Amino acid sequence: MQNVLITGTNRGIGQALVEEALRQGAEHVYAGTRVALTHKDPRVTYLELDVTDQAQIEAAAKTVESLDVLVNNAGLAAYDNLSDRALVEQHLAVNLLGPLALTTAFLPQLIEARGAIVNVLSVAALASLPMIPAYSISKAAAFSLTQAQRALLAPQGVRVHAVLTGPTDTDMSRDLDVPKAAPQAVARAIFDGVAAGDEEIFPDPLSAMLAPGWASGAVKQLERQNAALLSA
């Protein structure tokens, strides 16, 4: 890794991703956050970056001249019962349209570097969690976005990875009485998966159960078949 941009870095997986990128030898880490932070390592530059704010996105794209890896990690997860349409739209704005806007803004740098996009998703993209339905809906849409980006950007040399996380010990799931992975372990598995070229990354024990049959499964086969239509 050389230059890495990670969104949502003030806590949880995002914070762990910054530390793991440094541990794995990143030359520079641009850390997007909504709050003012500092880091003792001079390789880290914090950027004021709300993924729903187009002006901040454009300012960040001008600041970061060279980029090898874009990690779309910033996310929103609120418990609700689908009674609040505005909340659904807010989830889509952060979890779907945010990564789309970031990718569009940084695409020139990524194409030049033949870099990688990493979309941090969730197993809820595959099977909805009814206790957080708006989150599940937005992550399902973001998974579809990831598949589309993968097919459309491949001719330009940009790799696109989908991270399908299970329960992680962060604010979102801390109160759930289920086994949870440590953010540090998840972050390590994410960057290891990117280095290995894995299109789908299963970074924790729960999501890892999907890995053995994924490459030959119906979802992956259908994705490849649909992508092939682009060149038909």
Catalytic residues: 135, 139
d(CA 99, CA 219): 22
| Three-state DSSP string of 158-198 | CEEEEECCCCECCCCCCCCCCCCECHHHHHHHHHHHHHHCC
Helix (H, G, I), strand (E, B) or coil at 120: strand
In angstroms, the CA 143 to CA 160 distance is: 11
Distance CA 202, CA 75 (A): 18
CA dihedral sign of residues 172, 77, 34, 16: positive
Structure tokens at 56: 């901040």
Residue 69: phi and psi, rounded to 5, are -140, 125
